[in-house]
Amino acid sequence: MKEIDLRGLACPEPVIRTKKAIEANPSSVLAVLLNDAASRANVTRMAQSLGARVEGEELPGGELRLTIATGQAKAAPAAEPMPCGAAPAGRATVFIRNHVMGHGDERLGRILMKAFLKTLRNADPLPADILFVNNGVHLTAEGSEELPTLQELAGLGVEIVSCGTCLDFFGKLDKVKVGVVGNMLEIVTRLNRAAKIISP
């Protein structure tokens, strides 16, 4: 079993290195050592998206070992650094960096963000995805007043992706209530593929 020590590496390095190892070691088993939950979630989702089987194990001191069986994994084309859906032609990617809209009065900013997200439900076409970074991830986590609207958008097929590093920074990695936890590689890939980008 090949062991890969990715402890202490910042996002998205664990995802990039694990993906390269999967592609370089088809039909084998990899042991990936990590030391944070955000990396675990991102590496697991990436490996599973390639068809690999993943099992996790807690180690002493809060460290983690993922056992990745690559036998069923499929190599992604070189032009696709991370498997994730490309935005269909004409559909936008919405990039949300804050829990409020605009600069100035915070109470007004919250009102505007609520109105923006509710209005987004009626956009034609709907956006392909909504990416949340920095303070924006508060909108997808437990306690957010915008969860019903975001859950409705997700039900309509809009992909909701929250930055794992941001969630971990705010202590909300285990409090996400809509969409998936992503990483910077996935966010950059989605932005790069977007037909257009909307950032309120």
pLDDT in tens, 148-189: 999 999 999 999 999 999 999 999 999 999 999 998 989 999
2-69 classified as CATH 3.30.110.40: yes
93-198 classified as CATH 3.30.910.10: no
Residue 145: count other Cβ atoms within 10 Å of its Cβ.
11
Parts of the chain belonging to CATH 3.30.110.40: 2-69
pLDDT at position 190 is 93
Residue type, 53: R
Tens place of pLDDT per residue across the chain (200 aa): 889 999 988 878 898 899 999 988 888 999 999 988 888 888 998 888 888 999 998 888 888 899 999 875 454 443 333 344 444 557 999 999 999 999 999 999 999 999 999 999 889 899 999 999 999 999 999 999 999 999 999 999 999 999 999 999 999 999 999 999 998 989 999 999 999 999 99
pLDDT at position 72 is 58
- The secondary structure element, H or E, covering residue 126 is none
The whole-angstrom separation of Cα 75 and Cα 22 is 8
Residue 121: count other Cβ atoms within 10 Å of its Cβ.
13
pLDDT at position 77 is 43
Whether the Cβ atoms of residue 20 and residue 192 lie closer than 8 Å to each other:
no
Whether the Cβ atoms of residue 110 and residue 99 lie closer than 8 Å to each other:
yes
Parts of the chain belonging to CATH 3.40.1260.10: 93-198
Sign of CA dihedral 75, 81, 83, 89: negative
